[in-house]
Structure 1
Amino acid sequence: MKLFSKQLLQYTALIGIAVSLISDKTTAMSLNEVTGTRDETIVVIKDGIELELKDARGLRVTPVTIDNTTYLPLRAISENMGWDVGWDNDKRTITLDEVIQPELKEEVDEKSPEPTTLTDFGGSIDKTLMLTKVPTDLKVGTMQFIQGGILKGSSARAAIDLSKNPYASLSTYLAVKKTITSTNKAAYANTPVEVRITEVINGKEVSYFTKNIYPNDAPVHVELDLRNKSKIKIALKSDVLDTQLILGDAIFNP
């Protein structure tokens, strides 16, 4: 037999006292002795388990019949515990059921994810893409960028790992610079630089963006789709060794 908790037994004791008061009041009104019969044939069921009710003194509590009316020591339980009390007269069984309270969902102030700059990006970026906030690094013609990255070389690439920091897009300005020296031919000064963006799928690189950018072009604004991409690679191809691809004011958007 499973026993009620201490709190539950105290409630049961209270109702037992109430039954005694009813008996005393009835005696006073009728001037006759009132006899209550304990009905131990009634079974109390909670969660499919038969319960043995006891009061605070450890005495067994059973329903009492007075003047052909059966009083159940369960009213206080149902009122205080919020349980439903069911009665099956044929089986002489009392069933206690907990009333399921609707869950109160705590309101959470969910803030939309903030855009993240390239220099504040929390994921992995190859060191070949130099992150910078130096103004002289990020000045292209009349445009001055605040932050960004620089990829250097005649054939260079850098990977950005998005697996743990997914974003919807990368917004950036693309610009190229070439440094012509005595070892470089002046004829190559304004030849285009090929910029290519690839995504890595099952270990293979698949291009999804390409553009030829001239050194004398104004910075080109692009919005790169990053949805469902775990890793991308940025690559440049130039005929001059000292070539820079500048990603100006690059921002990851959620």
Structure 2
Amino acid sequence: MTPAPVALHHVDEGPRDAPVLVLSGSLGSTLEMWRPQVAPLSERFRVIRVDHRGHGGSPVPPGPYRIADMAADALALLDALGLERVAWCGLSMGGMVGMYLGSEAPERLTSLTLCCTSAHFPDSTVWKDRIAAVASGGTAPIAESIVSRWFTPEYAAEHPDVVAETAAMVADTPDEGYLACCQALEVWDHRERLGAVTVPTLVIAGAGDPSTPVTPHARTIVDGIPGARLEVLDAAHLATIERPDEATSLIAEHAGG
């Protein structure tokens, strides 16, 4: 039986009559990860930032979760807000939700921006190991190790406060929700459905991203989605934080604001 959608915690900002842009973040993040984008984007868009199920202020239903469950949560939110179509921008796990919506509910999207994400992880060992670690000790002990892969060494050295804030965000993620989302990523494989994505798609990748490197992850998505365009930034996994001006400009241009 398909689990019921949950009511996602979200923040809704910007002009009510502007085009709507949804921002959906990574595993272990909250909607605060989009802070660099809020001010510039909310001048041109009605910006809706969301917390995934199991994250931030959203409910933590029993796991395991699947990306389809998170997409159902997103659609339930759009319905609750009376929004027929939105531009979607997702980073990492948020990009996976966007890919699912792009193929299974394209009529609800005007455009799709996929940041530092993947249609499939060829080696699921990383997720098996992560699940075991969280099951035994929770998210807090592994937060610093995870975040060390999210920024380039140069950026991390120059912005230790940002790195510390991001690690705290991961550590504060509910253990049950984080683990259940890891179970979703462990089995995620959307490669066969990429050809069904019919909305204009921009893929943003980080040249120094060890979590979802350009090859094979970004290139698999670009090769699979008809007409998709690739932009590579000099950043690691959280390219929207490390290169905020470039990332924000690309997101805004593609979303049509």
TM-score, normalisation: structure 2:
0.21
Question: Which structure has the highest strand share of the two?
Answer: 1
Question: Which structure has the highest helix share of the two?
Answer: 2
Bigger relative contact order, structure 1 or 2, given CA contacts below 8 A and separation 6+? 2
